[in-house]
Amino acid sequence: MITRPKLSDWQIIGFYTGKIIVGVGLMMLLPLVIGIVFREWSAAVDFIIGISIALTIGHGLQVICRKRREMTWMPGLVTAAFSWLVAMVVGAVPHYLSGHFGSFFDASFDLMSGITTTGLYLLQDLDHISYSLNMWRHLLTYVGGQGIVVVALTFLIRGSAGAFMMYVGEGKDEKLLPNVIQTARALWIVSLTYMVVGGVLLTAANLYDGMAFTRAFLQGWWIFMGSWSTGGFAPQSFNILYYHSLLIELLTMTLFIIGSFNFALHWAVWTGNRREVYRNIEIVSFITTLFITVTLGSYALLRIDAFRGTAALFRKSFYQIVSAHTGTGLTNMYPRQFSDEWGGAAMLAVIIAMALGGSAASTSGGFKAMRVGIITRSFMAEIRSLTLPESAVLVEKIHHIKDRYLNDKQIQSSMMIVLAFIFIYLGGGVIGSLYGYPFIDALFESGSAGATVGLSSGVTSPDMPTGLKAYFMFVMWIGRLEFIAVFALIGFIVRVGRGK
Amino acid sequence: MSRKASKFQDYKEHAAGIATEVALAVAIFGGGLLVIIVLEFLVD
């Protein structure tokens, strides 16, 4: 229950939000360095302004709200939700100053899309933005995949007993190691190792395809960030289609499949428990639903003869559906190709794949394979119980790192979150229809935003109505944080409003 | 085990972990290719 906020609650929320905003400011140092190295003076000034604002607000909040007690459950959740909003506004400053956005609101849209690893964007003239702005976009999506709270836990917050509350509030509730700070560092070990391996391979692939070294290097790392974080941003407006390279498609697909795995699974496999990959409920669930959606989508495309030949169908159908199911949003098709060529049935397969999503405690969104697995198991147990005597007690087990017994609370909570996701997907479909978009296109875009995917049927553009932009920003945020932290923030605001 | 040997053991485990995950990803798109080939055969 959320009780009336006390002064100390405000102080804790302000203090930790300040820490996180300082983290956002420090992140801007990397694009600033890129701007200086490549003599992009105007962009460098944008980042100096952004850093100044972030450090002023961040340190200001820490001074004003100096904490006098440890964090508890409710302020932890509220901080997680609130800090993402403040990070969106502060991080949008260099975006807006770049002159590539129609308004600060549009710049904030791209920020929210970046940190939630969605990949939808309103930026104009993407092919001609500075290296530093491109670095900022991709860095945001890479760090957002880890979680901005995880960044703060790793580098800025030491030994806080309440840190786990913020970590949970950010949609990750698995401890890889006994201590949450060590857990945050373990997440970074996995991500940074893949960054080195993936970045080198993608740079080599770009060089092989004839790109000059500097571009090959930068674009290689940016594509890595867009793939691994399941973010979907790419440095060119044609996304992965720009490269026309099977090698890059295979490399990015490998990275976003692995990126959509649960960090607890990574850590188990990385510490010797390799059998986990075929026993884990999330992997079993993910592979099953992936092949169902690939079969549905590919069959629908074959029926309308959309692509000729196995290779074309594999590169278009499989790539798009895996990208959707892992919550990535990278694409090797033209922006409006879904609406113009795929047909309703194939689009529906992509919508289902987007809605399902990747693993819990990963960088992807959607229902999550864990919940799909739990609901399927409980459904099957319910059917099995019909064939058993009334007095029989049925115990259902799932395997995730270790064997776990399913209980009613887990099933109920999984169903509630899945229902909430369905509600926000359909809500966007209805709102989009009211604005005059075809329902299937609006549902596609809403599913893409709510499940933080980033594939587009062409609805998202700078001309999109402001109400729809705001709705998509809201569902990206609430979908990424998986509702609980946002509900806590809303409850907190209501309590403040009521004064009790 | 010395600290250096223990670190080396950790790196070996991590490398084997990466190889396992990459093998799984490759198996997934191998399976996808197979599904598409079978579907093409059935629809034709």
CA angle at A419 for the pair A418 and A420, rounded to the nearest 5° = 90
Q: Locate the chain A residue with the closest alpha carbon to B35.
A: A295
Inform me whether the C-beta atom of residue A283 falls under 8 Å from chain B C-beta atoms.
Answer: yes
Q: Which residues, at least 6 apart from B8, have a Cβ–Cβ distance to it below 8 Å?
A: none
pLDDT of A161 higher than 60 = no
List, as one string, the DSSP characters of A337-387: HIIIIIHHHHHHHHHHHHHH-S-TTSS--SS-HHHHHHHHHHHHHHHHHHT
pLDDT of A367 higher than 60 = yes
Inform me whether the C-beta atom of residue A279 falls under 8 Å from chain B C-beta atoms.
Answer: no
Inform me whether the C-beta atom of residue B28 falls under 8 Å from chain A C-beta atoms.
Answer: yes
pLDDT of A163 higher than 70 = no
Inform me whether the C-beta atom of residue A271 falls under 8 Å from chain B C-beta atoms.
Answer: yes
0.95 exceeded by pTM: no
Q: Which of A233, A266, A270, A257 is nearest to A318 (CA)?
A: A257
Q: Which of the residue ranges A18-27, A108-117, A386-395 would you say has the lowest mean pLDDT?
A: A386-395
| The two structure tokens encoding residue A421 | 């996701």
Q: According to the model, what pLDDT value does residue A454 have?
A: 94
- Out of A257, A274, A295, the one facing B17 most closely (by C-beta) is A274
Cβ of A253 and B29 within 8 Å? yes
**How far from each other are the two terminal CA atoms of chain A, in whole angstroms?**
12
List, as one string, the DSSP characters of A211-247: --HHHHHHHHHHHHHHHHTT----SSTTGGGGG--HH
Q: How far apart are CA A38 and CA A328, in angstroms?
A: 29
Window A:312-341, CB contacts with B under 8 Å: 313-314, 317-318, 322
Instruction: Compute the nearest-CA separation of B24 from chain A (Å).
Output: 8
Inter-axis angle of helices B3-43 and A180-208, to 10 degrees?
60
| The two structure tokens encoding residue A244 | 């026309």
Confidence of residue A1 (pLDDT cuts 50, 70, 90): low
Q: What is the pLDDT of residues A309-359, one digit of tens each?
A: 889 999 999 999 999 999 999 999 987 899 899 999 999 999 999 999 999
What are the boundaries of each domain within chain A? 7-259
CB A94 within 8 A of CB A46: yes
For chain B, the residue count is 44
Tokens 């080195």 map to which residue?
A196
Contact pairs from chain A to chain B, CB under 8 Å: 80
Q: According to the model, what pLDDT value does residue A172 have?
A: 64
pLDDT of A92 higher than 80 = yes
More confident position, A376 or A393: A376
Q: Which residues, at least 6 apart from A235, have a Cβ–Cβ distance to it below 8 Å?
A: A126, A134, A138, A218, A219, A222, A223
Q: According to the model, what pLDDT value does residue A385 have?
A: 86
Residues of chain B neighbouring A197 (CB-CB closer than 8 A): 18
Cβ of B20 and A269 within 8 Å? yes
Inform me whether the C-beta atom of residue A257 falls under 8 Å from chain B C-beta atoms.
Answer: yes
Q: Locate the chain A residue with the closest alpha carbon to B10.
A: A271
pLDDT of A133 higher than 70 = yes
Q: Is A403 helix (H, G, I), strand (E, B) or coil?
A: strand
How many DSSP H helices and E strands does chain A contain?
Answer: 23, 2
Residues of chain B neighbouring A283 (CB-CB closer than 8 A): 24
Q: What's the domain count of chain B?
A: 1
Instruction: Compute the nearest-CA separation of B8 from chain A (Å).
Output: 13
Instruction: Compute the nearest-CA separation of A462 from chain B (Å).
Output: 35
More confident position, B1 or A417: A417
Instruction: Compute the nearest-CA separation of A294 from chain B (Å).
Output: 7
Alpha helices in chain B (DSSP H): 3-43
Cβ of B39 and A270 within 8 Å? no
Confidence of residue A386 (pLDDT cuts 50, 70, 90): confident
CB A442 within 8 A of CB A429: yes
Q: Locate the chain B residue with the closest alpha carbon to A288.
A: B28
pLDDT of A160 higher than 60 = no
Name the percent of chain A lying above pLDDT 90: 68
Inform me whether the C-beta atom of residue A275 falls under 8 Å from chain B C-beta atoms.
Answer: no
Tokens 């999550």 map to which residue?
A368
Q: What is the CA radius of gyration of chain B?
A: 19
List, as one string, the DSSP characters of A465-495: -HHHHHHHHHHHHHHHTTTHHHHHHHHHHHH
List, as one string, the DSSP characters of A28-91: THHHHHHHHHTT-HHHHHHHHHHHHHHHHHHHHHHHHT---S---HHHHHHHHHHHHHHHHHHH
| The two structure tokens encoding residue A423 | 């509600």
Q: What is the pLDDT of residues A41-77, one digit of tens each?
A: 999 999 999 999 999 999 999 999 886 667 777 788 8
Cβ of A302 and B40 within 8 Å? yes
Q: Which DSSP state fits A457?
A: S
Tokens 């198991």 map to which residue?
A377
More confident position, A85 or A169: A85
pLDDT of B6 higher than 90 = no
Q: Which of the residue ranges A111-120, A334-343, A412-421 would you say has the lowest mean pLDDT?
A: A334-343
Q: Which helix (H) or strand (E) holds A404?
A: strand A402-405
For chain A, the residue count is 500
| The two structure tokens encoding residue A306 | 């959309």
Q: What is the pLDDT of residues A233-248, one digit of tens each?
A: 999 999 999 999 999 9
Q: Locate the chain B residue with the closest alpha carbon to A275.
A: B20
Cβ of A271 and B17 within 8 Å? yes
Q: According to the model, what pLDDT value does residue A329 have?
A: 94
Q: According to the model, what pLDDT value does residue A180 have?
A: 72
Q: How far apart are CA B21 and CA A376, in angstroms?
A: 25
Q: Which of A157, A151, A135 is nearest to A225 (CA)?
A: A135
Instruction: Compute the nearest-CA separation of A291 from chain B (Å).
Output: 7
Domain hosting B14: range is 1-44
Instruction: Compute the nearest-CA separation of A318 from chain B (Å).
Output: 7
Taking residue A460's Cβ as centre, other Cβ atoms within 10 Å add up to 23
- Out of B16, B29, B43, the one facing A302 most closely (by C-beta) is B43
Q: According to the model, what pLDDT value does residue A158 have?
A: 60
CB A234 within 8 A of CB A222: yes
pLDDT of A173 higher than 80 = no
Cβ of A258 and B22 within 8 Å? yes
Residue A405 β-bridge partners? A397
Instruction: Compute the nearest-CA separation of B5 from chain A (Å).
Output: 15
Q: Locate the chain B residue with the closest alpha carbon to A304.
A: B43
Instruction: Compute the nearest-CA separation of A478 from chain B (Å).
Output: 29
More confident position, A12 or A472: A472
Confidence of residue A249 (pLDDT cuts 50, 70, 90): very high
Q: What is the pLDDT of residues A437-478, one digit of tens each?
A: 999 999 999 999 999 999 999 999 999 999 999 999 999 999
Q: How far apart are CA A465 and CA A453, in angstroms?
A: 20
Residues of chain B neighbouring A353 (CB-CB closer than 8 A): none
Q: How far apart are CA A121 and CA A100, in angstroms?
A: 11
Q: What is the pLDDT of residues B18-40, one digit of tens each?
A: 999 999 999 998 999 999 999 99
Inform me whether the C-beta atom of residue B16 falls under 8 Å from chain A C-beta atoms.
Answer: yes
Inform me whether the C-beta atom of residue B32 falls under 8 Å from chain A C-beta atoms.
Answer: yes
